[in-house]
Amino acid sequence: MERFQFMGWQWDISTAKKLAVGRVPNTRVEVAAWAGMAHLIDVDLDHVPNVDLDEPLIAVPVPSGDGPMIIDGWHRIRKALKGGVPELAAITLSSDEELSSRIKGGAKGYG
């Protein structure tokens, strides 16, 4: 299972990807807005050059948070930042889908 963790929150990325299959991106993400956070997320820097910037990011609404959280696509964000790409396409899952892909954190509270 592929996972993304940020602080006390964790999501099952395999589930999130299944939920996003076949969807058209529904938003654009300004890459520079995520630059500060990108350096807090551990990525395999050797993998960054090989990612496809045409693959949409996956974001989720975070209960009691401001705006969505990107849970899949941090290698793409790093590549876009390095290459000067200003925006990337993203698919934002619904609140119910976020909850079904969340492993821990927030009101779900286990783990």
pLDDT digits (tens, 9 = 90+) for 11-50: 999 999 999 999 999 999 999 999 999 989 989 999 999 9
Q: Which residue has the higher pLDDT, 66 or 26?
A: 26
- Name the CATH architecture for the domain at 3-102: Alpha-Beta Complex (3.90)
pTM flag (> 0.85): yes
Confidence label for 67 from pLDDT (cuts 50, 70 and 90): confident
Sequence letter at residue 104: K
Where are the alpha helices (H) located in the chain, listed in sequence order?
A: 13-20, 35-38, 74-83, 95-101
Taking alpha carbons only, the member of 94, 101, 105, 99 closest to residue 26 is 94
| Distance from C-alpha of 41 to C-alpha of 47, rounded to nearest angstrom | 14
